[in-house]
Chain A
Amino acid sequence: MSQFAISTSKPLTRPPAWLAVWTLSRREITRFLRQRSRLIGALATPIMFWVLFGAGLHDSFQTPDWMTGSMSYRAYFLPGITALILMFTAIFSAMSIIEDRHEGFLQGVLVSPVSRSSLVLGKVAGGVFMAVVQALMFVGLGWLMGRTGLADDLTFELGAVKIATMTLFMVVVAFGLTSLGFMLAWKLDSIQGFHAIMNVFLMPMWLLSGAFFPTAQTGTLSWIMKLNPLSYGVAGIRQLLYDLSAERNAASGQPSLWTCFLMSAVFAVFCFLGAVWQARRDRVAVKKAGSRNRVTKTADGHAT
């Protein structure tokens, strides 16, 4: 191929993957913090749910078997809302890939030397960070309410070890959810399409995770809940938060903490690999991008 030879003055060192992952996740976080509406959507809505449902369902709630002593609905619902915050932030952050594509930013990353797995990891890591920070803030709020006597039914302790294990567990859960969101959003054309998926798929997934009402013991519903990966996320957060006894847990058919960790990790790995696979075989997505390019051009042409 000597006739094609042209001297390239630069040494050929691949850019390090960590730098790309770091910069892409930093960008996610910066963008998130600059959009107030996203902050409110991800944190205020779940808190509002918690306050309203907590008050509304207070009288009709019965303490489940696995709990020693009595438990208020508000206390029961707290881990569920924590999971909802994780889910909202994770999914909304992944959804921004649609915006990235429309704004042309994604194309710029696709023609840079960054590998597709770094691209996915950067996007996911940013989402995980924000999701976990917000979920911890919410847990901290609950703790503070219990501490100050504002809510005497919230009586859980928060020590360094507990915070560390909960953070670790939440990272695993959020990693799975953000990757799932990425996988869903990659092929989608519009934010509207994503909302549809959110309503018919993600909200039911959350509702049937034991977040909203206790896991059914028998029947089809119990199977759906057992197959739902988020059930293990919610159960894990609940067990960690309230230091539930392992024996009672097992006796009432609840998954053990280890099962929760394992299932969430399997879900996270599965979704992440799925997202990378999706990003690599981008033929379809790319075709869409091509047709969109032309649309953008005329739109721009008319706009200016």
Chain B
Amino acid sequence: MEESVAICVKDLSFQYGDRVALESVSFSVKPGAIFGFLGPNGGGKTTLFSILSTIFPMQSGVVFALGYDIRKDSAAYREQIGVTFQSPGLDRRLTVLENLIHQGHLFGLKGQKLRHTSEELLAQFGVADRQADIVDTLSGGLKRRVELAKCLIHRPSLLLLDEPSTGLDPGARHELWASLEKLRTEQGVTVIVTTHLMEEAERCDELALLHRGKIVAQGSPSQLRNRIPGECLTVVAERPDELISRLDTELNVEAKRVGETLRIHQANGQALFGQIMDRFPDEIRSISLGKPTLEDVFLMETGSRFAEPV
């Protein structure tokens, strides 16, 4: 089967001492795709990211990326990837331009050409006017943009981003994603991104849900949502546990308790909505009906709640 893939991972496992962080993770990413890993903190995203970016050594499994076995050809692979970590990787005491120039040198670029590329990238990310400023004086959003420009200096074909919107306000987050989509469309860059934000996950071409070191579901956001037919009801009840058992006995409906709320998936949600309101008017504080979200998919696949951090 001749199929072109940017990254192919097979049976990747990783342990910290006795604690299993990744267990037999396998997936592949098509060139030019934006591939997201969605999962709660501690689900294994950062470990996976650290292996893909060669920061962590591989323990078991195979990773072929951009034509290289990253265990053997890590140097050649590193020349082709651009990485941004969760914690900002800029030197905050240097100017914006100095950061890019130093980064270029690390990748063997130099002279006028490097300067030109740097200025071009800074202009592309709208930070050209700040190039002589010390990084420390920039806002979080601007730093992220500079960082993205920095990791693109050598024109990588694969971009790895670990929770790129950490510390960004919604506006800056939107801009970041617009730039990623542009890169993918215009330069065919493959993007792998980790996130714990549903809104970001929705913008990926393909998603893998990562829970306790395993991929529990994979597909495009709409494919994943379609795994749950019908609608989803969210109920805030006076006495949740009692309502769960009454729903079960009286309506033969299974409800899952998620924190203080109950979630019910039903093929015909509208009808059930009316039934519940009729039968338990005093039990219900509020009830809402909606299409399943990625969070519902996560809940269905793992049985545990996707704690959404603020």
Contacts and interface: CB of A to CB of B under 8 A. Distances in A.
Nearest to A1: B64
Interface stretch (A27-35, A221-229, A238-246, A259-267): A27-35
B271 interface: no
Interface string B85-112: 1111111111000100111011111100
Interface in B239-270: none
B46 A289 contact: no
A155 B171 CA distance: 68
A286 B57 contact: yes
Given A108-B151, A283-B57, A297-B166, 13 more contacts: A4-B64, A6-B66, A6-B157, A10-B80, A10-B157, A14-B108, A15-B79, A108-B89, A108-B103, A290-B46, A290-B55, A294-B42, A300-B166
Given A27-B102, A300-B166, A12 B79 contact: yes
Contacts of A3: 1-3, 5, 8
Interface hub of B55, B56, B92, B151 (most chain A Cβ within 10 A):
B55
A103 B85 CA distance: 11
Interface size class of A (residues with CB under 8 A): 35 or more
> Which are the 9 A-B pairs with shortest beta-carbon distances?
A15-B108, A23-B105, A104-B87, A108-B89, A104-B89, A304-B167, A4-B64, A112-B106, A296-B87
A26 B5 CA distance: 39
Contacts of A108: 83, 85, 89, 103, 150-151
A19 B86 contact: no
B225 to A, nearest CB: 27
B305 interface: no
A271 B110 CA distance: 31
B138 interface: no
A119 to B, nearest CB: 9
A135 B16 CA distance: 45
A109 interface: yes
A113 interface: yes
A111 interface: yes
A interface SS class:
helix
B76 interface: yes
Contacts of B94: 27, 30-31
Contacts of B81: 111
A219 interface: no
Dominant SS among interface residues on chain B: loop
Given A289-B55, A297-B86, A303-B167, A6 B67 contact: yes
B234 interface: no
Nearest to A109: B106
A159 interface: no
Given A8-B66, A297-B166, A304 B140 contact: yes
Nearest to A290: B50
B78 A112 contact: yes
Contact of B78 (A5, A113, A289, A304): A113
Contacts of B90: 103-105
A107 B53 CA distance: 10
A4 B69 CA distance: 10
Interface string B8-48: 10000000100000000000000100000000011000110
Contacts of A283: 57
A293 interface: yes
Nearest to B42: A294
B89 A107 contact: yes
A283 to B, nearest CB: 6
A111 B166 CA distance: 20
Contact of A110 (B47, B55, B80, B92): B55
A14 B46 CA distance: 28
26 contacts: A2-B2, A3-B1, A4-B8, A6-B67, A8-B66, A8-B80, A10-B80, A14-B79, A16-B108, A23-B102, A23-B105, A26-B102, A31-B91, A34-B93, A103-B87, A103-B89, A105-B89, A108-B103, A111-B53, A111-B83, A112-B78, A293-B46, A293-B50, A294-B46, A297-B87, A304-B168
